[in-house]
Amino acid sequence: MPIYEPDHVEYSITSGNIQIAMDDGRQLPAYWAHPTLGNRFPGIAVIHDWWGITPIIRRMANLFAQMGHYVIAPDLFNGQTAQTAQEAMRLVESLSDRGYQLVDDALTVLEDHHHCNESVAAVGIGMGGSLAFEAAIKRDDLEAAVAYGGFPHNYLGKIKDANTPICAFFGENEPYIKAEIIKKLKAEMTQSTFNLPHEIHIIPEMGHEFFTDKLTEKQREHSRQVLKETLRFLNQHLEPPKKRNPSSI
């Protein structure tokens, strides 16, 4: 199982595939997961990697929902998933530069949703991690951004001016991102214009993927620790759930 049990699962949830109607008439396909209670919860946009909306992404969305978040995972590939790297690259190429706009739309939906307390984070894996970096730089209303992997190359020189706290995770054996790039990212994070508490974690014995069913038992322990650190970071920066006024329901 690629996503592991947290220490405390507090909320029963509902989940499923949805189509969100945007103000301009467009439909945004997404996977949606949230607690069944009618409180106002912090929101998380889970941004998938180049494989698309896979069972791993759905399990991650469910986990965050169980921990007390309103979660949307926008389907950037409109229902398509990849089985090979070649298929994944074709999907990425077909997405072109529309990816960030769809992520931005999903974050706006969460900000405006009546069950969200307007405290919102972007959490991305691989390609989604890159888009989480971009959201942290471009938006001025996010409370947190988490990137698992991601490709920070295009954002060096801009990270220091991000006004969103960023938590980035990279494997010790990361095959695609050179150690020099990660070193530059870490240095820039320490030069935050807004003195934000950015974090960067190098995970021992791990490669590019933290949440896959092909991990060794030792790697699974590291994966569990990544999730614990993620939840700690989110709890630090997101507002806790709020009870709703019955008269407003």
Residues 87-132 pLDDT 10s? 999 999 999 889 999 999 999 999 999 999 999 999 999 999 999 9
197 touches 175 (CB < 8 A): no
Half-sphere exposure of 25 (CA within 13 A, CB side): 0
34 touches 70 (CB < 8 A): yes
What is the Cα–Cα distance from 129 to 174, expressed in whole angstroms? Answer: 14
135 touches 142 (CB < 8 A): yes
Task: Name, in order, each residue with C-beta under 8 angstroms of 247's C-beta and a sequence gap of 6 or more.
Answer: none
Specify the pTM: 0.94
Q: So what CATH class is 13-248?
A: alpha beta
pLDDT mean over 155-160: 95
**What pLDDT, on a 0 to 100 scale, did the predictor assign at position 96?**
86
